[in-house]
Structure 1
């Protein structure tokens, strides 16, 4: 199934399929050329938004981080100029350093979507007895969240709101009630799969709510009345093996797929374009058209770019 990136469905019912291209999964593309190829193929399969990580390790500057993203994005934009793609958070001692590359990419005209992780969460695995152990605390204080929101507002980026736990959504709702949530926001419900975000070798403790119909309805009850667009994903699991994928489409939501999420040794092998095509097939079964990259700014209400550049407006 090929979806042109120059057209538009014009439908407010269109499904946004986001492809998160890489993470723990060893099958995911790593080097810039592989990321570019997977990105183009995923767009042609029906993805409207892309997200990727980079493979730099050790001490790096924000300029080096931004350049590593651009090594994949320059050829991608040359081939698919309507692409909407955004990076992940960097590693730095403070929130300003972690987001410095985002500012550089935005000011270069490469971004229309920003990143807000509005909470903190434990990510890890189990020991031989099945007891949660090790892992990391992914920490975002309220002041960190304020910085992330302010950066999106300043740079006129629509915030991608990662919801790992219900408390993350409550923080978002506080910003919404205050009238301070930046324009173009999209709420992304990240349900915890059996292998968790880190794709451990054995099933273990996960995070947040499980990918069930009841869990999705609980989130939607919290979100009710806001009018905010939303999507579903299963981190460390198979979205299409759960009831939330179809239910989300039936209830007006969108789908977040890709090898960042689809990670864990017990899962079936798949590629990013294959997962996107599965999302497209399911949307067709439910009777909803696919959004193209050109549809997304209107569907999400993305602000006009402050720094027009390679993406244009």
Structure 2
């Protein structure tokens, strides 16, 4: 693992899992996404991971026209690296999931490293009043519909985005097997180091959120990638902050944001993404870790630069 340098804070601003009924603070409209993304960058996030929402009812949308209602505004107001989803949402086609990245030609996109069960249906059991009709059925659909990321899909997306646009990737690894899938594509030259490996723990269907699981993933990644990779950690839900601290203690980077957890602490909703960024930044600085700027993150990850995007 590449470690010993400054910590990159990624903020995942809205995602596609949480629904409007779960929190009044979840950003939905382009104005809300812009405001919260810029505030998160001002608080210390070097990377902003972005999904889009239908501004009328908050459901996830792959429409690049919606993305373009906030991407240029974010770029005008801050220097953070913009990381566009290619995971989209369960049920979206691959063309839908790649549409925004094809339009925006970003520095960075997410890349989920395997087809898997992605169970968010338990969230439907906690809500008694729904703001919109689509929400409950959307969550319950994850009982029967997997998140699809086949070898063919990964290779097609990685080859196109890196070859056409010079885009690099946040490799989202929800289990140890996903690390071996990444190694397969690295060995074939489909993807190039340094690799930003986002270890995702705590999603139902993926690896559990125990710290020993993270330590095991780091050990496997070290064997596979040597000094050619950066660790970052996404702890889902209540595991967000504890696992971020473990990542930092191991020499890695961190990811927070309302995509991953709606909470700031036990029983307390986060009122913004910036609150979570500020909290983890304070913790990191108390640990003696320095926070990376966007340009420092670009240098570490060998990104093409913010002037070379299409928004």
Given the two structures, how large is their TM-score scaled by the length of structure 1?
A: 0.78
- What does 1:105-184 correspond to in 2, within 5 Å? 105-106=104-105, 111-124=106-119, 125=121, 134-154=143-163, 155-183=165-193
Alpha-carbon distance, 1:137 to partner: 0.6
The structural deviation recorded for 1:184 is 5.2
* CA deviation after TM superposition for structure 1 residue 285, in Å: 1.8
Q: Distance in 2 between matches of 1:76 and 1:170?
A: 35
Give the secondary-structure state (helix, strand or coil) at the position aligned to 1:261: coil
Quick one: structure 1 residues 304 and 35, their matched pair in 2 at CA, closer, same or farther if it must change by over 3 Å?
closer
Q: 1:66: which partner in 2?
A: 64
TM-score by length of 2: 0.79
SS in 2 for 1:42: helix
Q: CA deviation at 1:308?
A: 2.4
- Confirm whether residue 86 of structure 1 aligns to residue 87 of structure 2: no
Q: Alignment RMSD, CA only? A: 3.0
How far is 1:97 from its partner? 4.1
> Are residue 212 (structure 1) and residue 210 (structure 2) matched?
yes
CA shift in 2, pair 1:309/1:224, >3 Å = closer
CA distance change for structure 1 residues 77 and 57 in 2, over 3 Å: closer, same or farther?
closer
Cα shift readout 1:262-308 (whole Å, capped 9, x = no counterpart):
04897531121111011111211221110111111111122468x82
Q: How far apart, in 2, do the equivalents of 1:15 and 1:98 lie? A: 29
Instruction: Provide the secondary structure at the position in 2 that maps to 1:123.
Output: coil
1:192-242 Cα deviation digits (max 9, x unpaired): 1xxx4xxxxxxxxx13222222111110111014221120111233412x3
Question: How many residues end up aligned between the 2 structures?
Answer: 274
Secondary structure at the residue paired with 1:121?
coil
